[in-house]
Amino acid sequence: MSSAAAHAGFVDRRQVARRFSRAAQDYPAGDFFAREVDRRMQERLDYVRVTPRRILDLGCSRGGSFAALSARYPQAELIGLDLSEAMLLAGQVRRPGWQRWLGLGQDGPSRIVADAAKLPLAARSTAVVWSNLLLHWLDDPIPALAEARRVLEVGGLLMFSTLGPDTLRELRTAFGDAQAHTQRFADMHDLGDMLVECGFADPVMDMEVITLTYDDFDAMLADLRAAGSSCAMRDRPRGLMGRARWAQVRAAYERLRVAGKLPATFEVIYGHAWKGEPKQTADGRAIIRLDGLKRR
């Protein structure tokens, strides 16, 4: 690989934006899986004590998490950030003109088009960073995790979900080649190590497997496209596959049929961690706190 290709990374960022922008208008018909994962993430908040003044939804798409977060934390300012402007616009509900003219009501959460690895927010300005199924679309999760920690206030919470290596294993098996047909997914333990590397405290990771079932292969592909979830790796096959090749893949997937259904496995990884007190200054000097020492 050339140095230029290495610098470009593994994930085609423009392709990610294009896929989700194309899916924006009809996304509610395709995001059922994201909404189910979001519901399970929301349940995990039942065991977390936090009263946030501001919540950042990182990779918010059309804002599917907004209603539940607003209901749980009605006092919090909610900000949605996404790479796809089309997604943000498609999910925006504007007040009628007469309400805006009279200054009544609200247009809902603020929405920002930005890169998760370059957040346009001040340091220590956010109490909760929430991210549902974003990290596997990034070339490297570490810059985004580091930025999340930067914008969190001390004692702030990062909570996220992403997909693990077993995701769409049946699809990779059916293609049976060395080319990329799905995203590259990080292991749960590697993500935990990344949190520690970025300076988070008390990381908690867990995982579950969700298996969707389909009557036919094309229905599964249609759901992936509707959710904007087609492969966006740089080394993905380019151009159209011929009929013979598609027939081979369909036949291989058919051999995986169980109880009359075609399975599609998703390994869902959940993580949360806290921003603790800094242990070093910006120039690397250690910070020693004296407030816990007893006076003699």
DSSP 142-196: HHHHHHHHHHEEEEEEEEEEEE-TTTTHHHHHHH-SSS--S-----HHHHHHHHH
* CA proximity to 146, closest of 221, 94, 190, 196: 196
**In the predicted model, what is the mean pLDDT of residues 276-296?**
58
Q: What is the mean pLDDT of the chain?
A: 89
Residue 149 confidence (pLDDT): 98
pTM: 0.88
Encode pLDDT of 111-143 as tens digits: 999 999 999 999 999 999 999 999 999 999 999
**In the predicted model, what is the mean pLDDT of residues 251-271?**
97
In this structure, the dihedral spanned by the alpha carbons of residues 224, 226, 232 and 238, taken in order and rounded to 10 degrees, is 90
Rounded Cα–Cα distance for residues 283 and 249 (Å): 55
According to DSSP H, which parts of 29-151 are helical?
A: 32-44, 66-72, 85-91, 97-102, 141-151
Query: What is the pLDDT confidence band of residue 101, given thresholds at 50, 70 and 90?
Result: low
**In the predicted model, what is the mean pLDDT of residues 206-221?**
97
CATH superfamily ID and name for 10-165+185-209+268-275? Vaccinia Virus protein VP39 (3.40.50.150)
Query: What is the pLDDT confidence band of residue 226, given thresholds at 50, 70 and 90?
Result: very high
Range with lowest mean pLDDT among 34-38, 104-108, 253-257: 104-108
Residue 296 confidence (pLDDT): 45
Encode pLDDT of 27-82 as tens digits: 998 999 999 999 999 999 999 999 999 999 999 999 999 999 999 999 999 999 99
